[in-house]
Structure 1
Amino acid sequence: TSGGLRGLVFFNARMVDDFNTGSDLLFGKEQDGFVIVNGRIGLTNIAGRFSIEGWAQNLFNKDYTQVAINTPFVAPQQTFSAFLAEPRTYGVTVRGKF
C-alpha cells in the first residue's frame, strides 16, 4: 500500500492436451496441445472508489483450431475449413463509484 493505493496482479493459464476438433475423428482434424495465458494488472484506492486495470486475453496470441469441418466440392482431395480461436485481445478497464 502506497499513498492509499493497492496493486493488483493476476495471471492464469489453461493447458489443453491434443484433441480432435471434428465429430468424425479424421486424423487431419487433430489439434496439438497448447497453453493459453491471460493477465490483468491494475491499481485501486483503499476505499474502492476507483480502479484502473490493463488486461489481455490469449496473451501470447496462440493460434489454434476450435472446430474443423469438411469442405466438400472445393478440391479433388479432402479439404477442411476451421473456426479459429479468438486472437490476443487487450484493453483497459476504468471503474469509479460516485
Structure 2
Amino acid sequence: MKYLNHRNIKALKGILRGSFLGHPTILKNLPFILYLTTLAIIQIWAAHRAESNVRMISEKTIEINELESQYLESKSILMKMEQESSVQMRAKKLGLISLAKAPITIQKPNDD
C-alpha cells in the first residue's frame, strides 16, 4: 500500500475524471491520435476479413474435393454402363437381341 500515497491517488482520480483531456499537448496531438485510432480499426477489420476469407476458402476446398469424388464416381458408373456387354444385358431385358452379322453400310451413289 506504500504506492498509494496522496499524490498517486490524486493522479489516478484525475485520469478517471478525464481532466487530462483538456491539456494543451493532448489537444494539439488529437488529430494524430484519431488518425492512429482509425488505422487500428482498419487493421482489425482487415484481419477479421482475412480470417473470414481463409475460412471460406477452406470450406470451398472441401466442397470441391467432394464434388470431384462424386464426378469420378459418376464417370466410373457411366463407363461401366457404356460397355458393350452391359448394353447387351440391358437390351436383352427389354427383349432386344444383337445381330450376329455386322450392319450394312448404305453408300450414296456418285452422280457423274
Choose 1 or 2 for highest CA Rg. Answer: 2
TM-score (norm 1): 0.19
TM-score (norm 2): 0.18
* Structure (1/2) with the larger helix percentage: 2
* Structure (1/2) with the larger strand percentage: 1
Q: Looking at both structures, which has the greater relative contact order when contacts are Cα pairs under 8 Å and sequence separation is at least 6?
A: 1
